[in-house]
Structure 1
Amino acid sequence: MTAPFEVSFVQRALWGGFLVSAICALAGTWVVLRGMAFLGDAMSHGLLPGVALAALSGGNLMVGAVASAAVMTAGVTALGRTPRLSQDTGIGLLFVGMLSLGVIIVSRSQSFAVDLTGFLFGDVLSVRQRDLYLLGAALLAALAVAALGHRAFLALTFDARKARTLGLRPRLAHAVLLGLLGLAIVASFHIVGTLLVLGLLIAPPAAALPWARDVRGVMVLAALLGAGATFGGLLLSWHLGTAAGATVAALAVSLFFLSHLASGLRHRRPRPAPVPAPEAH
């Protein structure tokens, strides 16, 4: 059953998925706790213009993705400070604008369908050795940001006004958190594509939430669940002949439903009746 992992490109895909799972756990936990799923979806699709320009110019796709992520982060931060415009409205406008611009750029290429398919759905089996080094560096950066910003992120998530009174600068913390989210999405889009990146970004932390006692516990369990989805997804895709990235994302979402089903059953179990105290004679 595990024979596929003896193949070198599947091994690289596995390690790439493990690294991405850890990065997504660090950012995705805050996405789930703060209800930022729509923002994550918008930022993942907002990478298209930079990736498209890099592809057409023969440049590095990762550099293009980073540039687009920076634009999206700056745009969301700026529009979030506009008092007459709700945050969801600003995110939606950026989402549509960046996606439309990306499709326009890619449509100039003769290989439009191939480029767009690879961008949307990823190609986990094409991970190279140097990609693993980049993912390792991205994980170290994500760990540093998550560790240094943990207190500010925690206060921002549960009480933004208290964060301000404690001098934690919630606006700066929000901008840094957007940067962490952008880092996770940039690191992940090559593995599962932008349409499926939310599978690893949201499903493992959401699945871990009922079983962990604190935020760090959610992150650790989410990374383990993401790694399990990667292993199982690659194994299933090899034997069933399905798309690897999509199978990994689908398995991650399945783990979420199984987790919440198990959690619901756990809370519905009848508690044992108290044993009556012996009567005094």
Structure 2
Amino acid sequence: MEFLIAPFEVSFVARALIAGCLAAVLCACVGTWVILRGLAFFAHALSHGMLPGVAIAALLGGNLLLGAAASAMAMAAGVVWVTKESRLSQDVGIGLLFVGMLALGVVLVSHSRSFAVDLTAFLFGDVLGVRRSDLAALAVSTALGIVACLVLHRPFMALSFDERIAATLRLRPRWAHLAMLALTGLATVASFQIVGTLLVFGLLIGPPATAALMFSRVRTIMLAAAALGALLTYAGLLISWYAETAAGATIALLTVLVFFVTLLGKRCIIALVR
């Protein structure tokens, strides 16, 4: 038992566990709608689209979280505008802004060599460097995400399965879609401090996708994804402590591995039953 508890007796590892569990709950709630609505590409692009805002905030000595939030909001608004004005599919706007925002971020970063270390933490996370103020901000974001998912459950449900039904029921599918994009941005921005922008996608998609393989009800998927995300956060921190690996990357890698193990296990069970 000491083997399983000892690392978390250190204060910064304990804070990392709390932060990871909060991020897991937030990503489970939002990530469930992301996979049901088919917004995985948007979430992936958004995690990279935060780079310009973070780079500008770092170069000006500002708050990285605020910079990431501003950049995420700009990208989400840009996707909606391009889709509306061009009348092309949403993927076109996402793809264009994904490349543009990422390129702009790299240009800004390359302008300052001193930003290299901060960029590494931004890309791959610094879960062991979480402060109490970060925990407070993450807790507020998690509470907002849970409340929003509860309040918007009905329009989100209709939108995820058939947009025409949502319109027929007067659930305002366009506004529901915008709210879903905003929640995706909230989860991405709030969680990037934990696992970094390149790895937040795993926490947002991995546990909900794994839970969706086992359950069909939305609320059950959310609960299972939250529990799984918290468990994988604990396991990732434990492994990284003893194996001396990057904590954020270890957590994200576990979310992907568990998905594929679950998928293969489900296929084997189906084959045996047949």
Q: Which category of TM-score, normalised to the shorter sequence, fits these structures?
A: over 0.9
Write the distance in 1 (CA, Å) between the matches of 2:85 and 2:165: 22
1:75 correspondence with 2:65: no
1:21 is aligned with what amino acid?
A: A
1:247 is aligned with what amino acid?
A: T
CA deviation after TM superposition for structure 1 residue 80, in Å: 2.3
Residue by residue over 1:188-241, the C-alpha shift from the partner in whole angstroms, topping out at 9 and shown as x without a partner, is 111111111111010101100122230011011001111111000000001011
1:102 correspondence with 2:105: yes
1:35 is matched with which residue: 25, 33, 38?
Answer: 38
Write the distance in 1 (CA, Å) between the matches of 2:113 and 2:257: 37
Percent of residue pairs bearing the same amino acid type: 58
Q: 2:251 maps to what in 1?
A: 248
Write the distance in 2 (CA, Å) between the matches of 1:264 and 1:227: 25
Write the distance in 2 (CA, Å) between the matches of 1:173 and 1:117: 35
Q: 2:131 maps to what in 1?
A: 128
CA deviation after TM superposition for structure 1 residue 35, in Å: 2.0
1:178 correspondence with 2:181: yes
Within 5 Å, which residues of 2 pair with 1:209-228?
209-228=212-231
1:145 correspondence with 2:148: yes
CA deviation after TM superposition for structure 1 residue 170, in Å: 0.7
CA deviation after TM superposition for structure 1 residue 259, in Å: 1.5
CA deviation after TM superposition for structure 1 residue 82, in Å: 3.2
**Aligned partners of 1:106 and 1:115 also within 8 Å:** no
Residue by residue over 1:109-139, the C-alpha shift from the partner in whole angstroms, topping out at 9 and shown as x without a partner, is 2323212211111111000111111110001
Within 5 Å, which residues of 2 pair with 1:1-281?
1-2=3-4, 3-270=6-273
Unaligned runs of 5+ in 1: 272-281
Write the distance in 1 (CA, Å) between the matches of 2:156 and 2:272: 35
CA deviation after TM superposition for structure 1 residue 185, in Å: 0.3
CA deviation after TM superposition for structure 1 residue 100, in Å: 1.2
Unaligned runs of 5+ in 2: none
Residue by residue over 1:37-87, the C-alpha shift from the partner in whole angstroms, topping out at 9 and shown as x without a partner, is 111111110101111111111111111111111111111122222354221
1:58 is aligned with what amino acid?
A: G
Per mean C-alpha deviation after superposition, the further-off stretch among 127-136 and 84-93 is 84-93
1:222 is aligned with what amino acid?
A: A
Structure with the larger helix share: 2
1:102 is aligned with what amino acid?
A: G
